[in-house]
Amino acid sequence: MSNKKALREFQSRLAQRLQSVRTTGTAASWLAVEAGSSRLLFPLSHAGEIFSWTDVQKVPYARPWFMGVANLRGGLHGVIDLGSFLQGGDSRPRGESDLAQCRMVALNPLLDINCALLVDRLLGLRTTEAFATSASVGDGAPGYFGHVYTDLDGRPWQELNLQVLSQHQAFLGIGA
């Protein structure tokens, strides 16, 4: 019950911040999350609704990072452990208490894929003013990696283009 209350409070604070952004004219660009050991930035136009952990029905013979299928507000969504996917596909064992702290970020319905990304923590909204520098990723980086931003404390943040990710062969289970 406390997890639902905490999520509602977070969503309320997020809604208040979005409203203040609209009235002050400063546009939030990203939803900041932590997945595995990575700090990630999701473009707000690509991210959808945020959900607490719910039961996920496992799917046989799926990739290790594909956790299964969940009913999220009446729609079936594939659930991807984003940290595992980004770190080479090995699954990370998690207990129920660990999963209770995680959140699922559904992709925007406009991307036309019923998918939710399991992230370890939500870290709020970020604007370009939160970062000191940005740089392009290296040549060997996946196509869904956007710029790497460095915040004012010197920590790196990787932007993920969720639209490109949702069509990537490895994400769809087609490639290696």
pLDDT tens across 119-157, in order? Answer: 999 999 999 999 999 999 988 899 999 999 999 999 999
Give the tokens for residue 139: 């040549």
Sign, Cα dihedral of 35, 38, 39, 41: negative
pLDDT in tens, 35-85: 988 999 999 999 999 999 999 999 999 998 999 999 999 999 999 999 999
Q: How far apart are CA 93 and CA 99, in angstroms?
A: 10
149 close to 157: Cβ distance less than 8 angstroms: yes
Residues in the chain: 176
On the 0-12 / 13-18 / 19+ scale of CB atoms within 10 A, 117 is buried
What local confidence, expressed as pLDDT, does residue 43 receive? 96
Give the tokens for residue 120: 């370890």
Beta strands in 21-73 (DSSP E): 30-35, 38-43, 47-52, 66-72
Q: Is the confidence at residue 170, as pLDDT, over 60?
A: yes
Question: What residues pair up with 148 in beta bridges, in sequence order?
Answer: 135, 158
Strand pairing class (115-119; 75-81): parallel
